[in-house]
Chain A
């Protein structure tokens, strides 16, 4: 067939598909151009606590919403009686921006200045083409849907000063990758709904082995801005929520990380990383619960087997309870909360050792729902690759707020 004819056919098919879909989306979305009327916020947020559920979105500046959050830490940490860290850190200062372009396009962005600006990352820059509540297009720098925490991890929303080990040490949160894909929500009777995200992304690169001195570490494989192996990965999350705030999520990720083909010549075996994650959150009797579990498998080159893990796992369960709402006369919007998190990571499931478990408890003061002063105590036990244990503990004071 003449290539031009084929292009024309594809174009006609695409227009037909859009013609079928767009009228549905028009009826499904309000006619106002106000971002608060957007598809993403027509009902409850797509990701509660995530990209479309942040305070700055309520303050409209024309079609653009600007805001962010800051997070300052003070830490005193000791391991086996020796001080590892005692000092202060502007952990994060993040700028958030959102803009609506017409009725069907919305942009979301987040730029992160980490550790006093020593690291600057474009964490989120996604463009949404809103077609229908059940199917929308998303492209750009995406937060990879591996577990719920990676999608909703801002300091003011994080229950404790530190992020869970599973997120920081195993998956590499905040994990964002260039990608393209679909997302949507499906009503499931009453207040229930299901959501899905399905993206093609660049995946991790081989830094997860080659740049890591400590064994397999996925966070070292982030930043694959131009796909290193011309082999996209797949990331997806399915979530079911009978009502806010109850939700169960299942995530999956799979993709090659190494450069196995050069100029059409296979120079290595194709080696992949696979992640499966389960997340849940609920609330009962005024107590909020959430947790995640993730298992990772990675193909390891034969020369590194035994030193680099082919299997990893991590989990956390955390609970919080708020109290004393309006208890301070001078701060009527304030309240307190207490919480605890129990978590563990196993960096090498092929080995006894190379793991860590820790418990964190905290008392937090919220001057307003957007700000929180956290006082946390953390106790941990780490095991090295010889399976020798060491005890760690930390007192952390942090202040974080949206702006």
Chain B
């Protein structure tokens, strides 16, 4: 047997034993192929326009850094040892606003008062139904006006804030001087004393269900205080249950204020620069729906577009905002009345809800929809049917539409 043949025989019987010289390149090749496929293997991001928590286009690096910090603060849940409570509704901002969008009926808040009196002597204006050990959760007192409120979406707030007051007032017609049956009026609110440089002069409220809040800062401070039980540099005294047998503060485990102004400001910066989701693609049916939307009177209150004014944030300045709202109060009739005034808004009035984010709302509510102030409507059609008061004529016109036009209208609204 010659040497070559012997070598071949040995090669046949020897078990495969890869040497490091072979194994290393194979491993590197496999790793390279794996990394090349990482985009899919390691998940892909949804389009920013399909999210409630994407930043506005055109933000600077510094603005995006503030956005990122505020995003973290918005999502931060508080433990009892970090200041949660003593009485509260939930543990974080994000735990009420699903994906930064609207909430569900299970985490709706109960607001209560006696007329325009916030009923602070009995725990108003909001029911805190959760409490840390040692504190007593509030029970709804007798003889008060109450209103269930679904947490609203929080995107687009900076755009709403940047709309000049004069442009909002331009659509007001409190006495219905033009006789169209629509009599929108602003909710003039006096900013609370905890806001810096508030000046005490009334301003147009534009946030929350009855436009009873005038700024993102006010909303943020109040939500920390009322919803989570977190005191801040702006509002450093704990919210208490005045009907409890033991002082609520006795259960508190963290010295006040529990959150510095910087953290509050970062959340404000975040909310201010949250972009509304992109509307759906235009189709012939939606085009028809848009026409019907205008022709039956929906657009009288759901004003398709307002324009922002100057802003220190260029991405917010001087741009059209397709919010489909006039940000004014309207009488919505007995159908939607909660019987509870809020500032100058009476028990039948509600701010026109912006129609945006509806296209993707179900993606953040496990496939469901909860519309109107208390989430009672499970579809746009149900929400339209619940309209009354100033909107009764538009509702009746909707009912009189052909099936195709009704479907086109609903499709158009749900594409916003």
Residues of A with Cβ closer than 8 Å to B?
Answer: 76-82, 206-207, 209-214, 220, 258, 268, 301-304, 306-307, 327-330, 352-353, 377, 384-388, 391-395
Q: Interface SS of chain B: helix, strand, loop or mixed? A: loop
Cβ contacts B99-124/A at 8 Å (1 or 0 each)? 10000100000000000000000000
Given the known interface contacts A388-B366, A395-B34, the answer about A304 and B130 at a Cβ–Cβ threshold of 8 Å is: yes
* Bound CA span A268–B77, Å: 26
Complex contact A214–B77 (CB within 8 A)? yes
* Bound CA span A303–B87, Å: 9
Complex contact B45–A81 (CB within 8 A)? yes
Q: Which chain A positions have C-beta within 8 A of B76?
A: 213
Complex contact B137–A303 (CB within 8 A)? yes
Chain B: interface residue total (CB-CB under 8 A): 42
Complex contact B77–A78 (CB within 8 A)? no
Q: Which chain B positions have C-beta within 8 A of A301?
A: 133
Given the known interface contacts A78-B42, A214-B77, the answer about A258 and B18 at a Cβ–Cβ threshold of 8 Å is: no
* Bound CA span A207–B137, Å: 20
* Bound CA span A276–B363, Å: 36
Given the known interface contacts A213-B79, A388-B364, A395-B34, the answer about A80 and B19 at a Cβ–Cβ threshold of 8 Å is: no
List B23-60 residues whose CB lies under 8 Å from chain A: 23, 34, 38, 41-46
Q: List 30 A-B contacts (CB under 8 A).
A: A77-B42, A78-B42, A81-B42, A81-B43, A206-B133, A210-B253, A211-B79, A212-B79, A213-B76, A213-B78, A213-B82, A213-B91, A214-B77, A258-B133, A301-B133, A302-B137, A303-B130, A306-B130, A327-B16, A328-B17, A328-B23, A329-B19, A330-B20, A352-B366, A385-B95, A388-B99, A391-B43, A394-B42, A395-B34, A395-B38
Residue of A79, A220, A268 near B133 (CB, 8 A) is A268
* Bound CA span A329–B17, Å: 6
* Bound CA span A191–B112, Å: 71
Complex contact A78–B43 (CB within 8 A)? yes
B226 at the interface (CB under 8 A from A): no
Complex contact B79–A392 (CB within 8 A)? no
Residue of B38, B80, B104, B132 near A386 (CB, 8 A) is B104
Complex contact A80–B42 (CB within 8 A)? no
* Bound CA span A122–B78, Å: 29
Complex contact A387–B366 (CB within 8 A)? yes
Q: Distance in Å from the Cβ of A327 to the closest Cβ of chain B?
A: 6
- The 5 A-B pairs at the shortest CB distance, nearest first, are namely A81-B45, A303-B131, A213-B77, A210-B80, A213-B79
B245 at the interface (CB under 8 A from A): no
B84 at the interface (CB under 8 A from A): yes
* Bound CA span A302–B87, Å: 12
Q: Which chain A positions have C-beta within 8 A of B366?
A: 352-353, 386-388
* Bound CA span A146–B337, Å: 55
Q: How many A-B residue pairs have CB under 8 A?
A: 100
* Bound CA span A22–B46, Å: 69
Q: Distance in Å from the Cβ of A367 to the closest Cβ of chain B?
A: 12
Q: Which chain B positions have C-beta within 8 A of A330?
A: 19-20
B92 at the interface (CB under 8 A from A): yes
Residue of B43, B46, B132 near A210 (CB, 8 A) is B132
Most chain-B Cβ atoms within 10 A of its Cβ — which of A82, A377, A387? A387
B163 at the interface (CB under 8 A from A): no
* Bound CA span A388–B368, Å: 11
* Additional A-B contacts beyond A81-B43, A213-B82 (4; CB < 8 A): A77-B42, A306-B130, A328-B20, A386-B364
Q: Which chain A positions have C-beta within 8 A of B81?
A: 207, 210-211
Q: Distance in Å from the Cβ of B123 to the closest Cβ of chain A?
A: 14
Q: Which chain A positions have C-beta within 8 A of B95?
A: 385
Q: Which chain A positions have C-beta within 8 A of B20?
A: 328, 330
* Bound CA span A189–B77, Å: 55
Q: Distance in Å from the Cβ of B30 to the closest Cβ of chain A?
A: 9
Q: Which chain B positions have C-beta within 8 A of A268?
A: 133
Complex contact B42–A393 (CB within 8 A)? yes
Complex contact B132–A327 (CB within 8 A)? no
Complex contact B365–A307 (CB within 8 A)? no
Cβ contacts B243-263/A at 8 Å (1 or 0 each)? 000000000010000000000
Q: Distance in Å from the Cβ of A328 to the closest Cβ of chain B?
A: 7
Across the two chains, which residue of chain A brings its CB closest to B365? A386
* Bound CA span A78–B46, Å: 13
Given the known interface contacts A302-B137, A330-B19, the answer about A377 and B80 at a Cβ–Cβ threshold of 8 Å is: no
Across the two chains, which residue of chain A brings its CB closest to B45? A81
Given the known interface contacts A80-B45, A80-B46, A82-B45, the answer about A307 and B79 at a Cβ–Cβ threshold of 8 Å is: no
Complex contact A307–B364 (CB within 8 A)? no
* Bound CA span A207–B104, Å: 29
* Bound CA span A213–B92, Å: 9
B300 at the interface (CB under 8 A from A): no
Given the known interface contacts A81-B45, A302-B137, the answer about A213 and B19 at a Cβ–Cβ threshold of 8 Å is: no
Q: Distance in Å from the Cβ of A221 to the closest Cβ of chain B?
A: 12
* Bound CA span A377–B133, Å: 42
